[in-house]
Structures are given as C-alpha cells and as structure tokens.
Amino acid sequence: METTIVPIKGMTCMGCVSSVKRVLDGFAGVAKADVTLQPAQATVTYDPAKADLQGIKTAISDAGYDIA
C-alpha cells in the first residue's frame, strides 16, 4: 500500500468534501481516503497494483475539482 496527499482546489464546503470522498471510496484499489476542507486535500491510501496516482487525480478532476 502507498499513501499520498493530493492537494485539491475548488472545495468550498463539507458537501464538496463528501463528494470527493465518495469518488475516492468508489475508486478501485483505494483502501482509505480522508478528505479535509482545511487544508483542502485528500490523503489517499491505495494499492499501486490496482490503482495509480494519475488515475486518482483524474477521478478527482472528473468530479469537478482541480488538483493544486
């Protein structure tokens, strides 16, 4: 397992946090995702054999948020 922090731009409320968490929790290979508004970031633990960091970032972007 690998853990990484992904800074996110565009989150303004707890609804945004919930949206990003839902996307990450549903992403294949992600074991754990903690999303915070302050600082605006996601701490993601994932299996590199099943998921890659670029794919995780793309999923966040596809949900309407920018990667800082």
Measured CA to CA, the distance from residue 46 to residue 62 in angstroms comes to: 19
Q: Could you tell me the CA-to-CA distances from 34 to 53, 61, 66 in Å, in that order?
A: 15, 17, 17
Query: What are the extents of the domains in the chain?
Result: 2-67
At residue 1, the pLDDT reads: 94
At residue 7, the pLDDT reads: 97
At residue 33, the pLDDT reads: 97
- Per residue of the chain (68 residues), give pLDDT as tens: 999 999 999 999 999 999 999 999 999 999 999 999 999 999 999 999 999 999 999 999 999 999 98
DSSP states of 1-43? -EEEEEEEES--SHHHHHHHHHHHHTSTTEEEEEEETTTTEEE
Across the beta sheet with 2-9, what order do the strands follow?
Answer: 30-36, 41-46, 2-9, 66-67
Q: Which CATH architecture has domain 2-67?
A: 2-Layer Sandwich (3.30)
At residue 68, the pLDDT reads: 86
What's the whole-model pTM score?
Answer: 0.90
